[in-house]
Structure 1
């Protein structure tokens, strides 16, 4: 899998969180790769910041209430032309239009109406960069174009964490070193977003 391809942000909103497994399978069936995922309970302040371009909207308080009504799942998805591909998979934001024009799209299947449409995706590449940065502040968004950039990325982002993990592995001498290292890397992932998380 080529990590350095197009990326976009995908959100499963509170009203359809119970269908998250089915939605994730549909996303993967459409050849998207889930690069990062986090279950989050947003605060009012976070919703205001994320949707700041909609502050003048008369329904803005309703947006805040909606997005803080329960946990969301935010994901970084990867695929060639990820932004447009995800928009196509989700379909029109208005669920009634989605049901008429694209009855097999995800919003037609899981959304309720134009407001409670269940799912969010980035509209443009620039928007994807901002939104991914909001939830996953350490994520690499722009593709790395050359060998030198890849080498510098590995030296800066991967090798220090891996070196710490391998050093700790040598000290601990666990019975199953591969499993131990995998668990250690999950617990010490520097890309974990610093956002309030909730248990299932």
Structure 2
């Protein structure tokens, strides 16, 4: 290990090295110590890079997001719907179900509520960015909010899915995306219809200041 290696890079390496140990030892200092031994990183430096569970889960999430983005790099020629489906499936494939179960059990605890919301938002943001989204207006937030809900439900479904090649989870994703697409179409129609309605401000303005 290079002594000048940034802690953020060490954190990513350690989080990945922890994965074989998490199913047995959880997201714990025991798993971190094993990862430090496996990577040849000094235990004291490892403790600095990943001092607590929050840091471990954050580093793991960032690593999974990065690996998902790498796989998605050549998918920009697909339709948006297909890109989002691919992002959801790809992100699941970058994880391990038992590792994810352990993480979800921790994130479900009240003391980790803020971290849970933060990591879920980061995952949704990473998926949209990997899908090529560049929105900066309110759509930036609504897209991520909707995808956060889909991904959260998908994770719970996936961790209990025993079907071959996770076909049940894939079908679940399809149904959720269908629901969102129907909502988006309805919203677009409503927005168009609202645009044809009289402007209430102009209407009340005329009542107050009638044209002569």
Normalised TM-score (structure 2) = 0.26
Instruction: Return the index of the structure with the highest Cα Rg.
Output: 2
Normalised TM-score (structure 1) = 0.27
Higher relative contact order structure (alpha carbons within 8 Å, sequence separation ≥ 6): 1
Which structure features the higher share of helix residues? 2
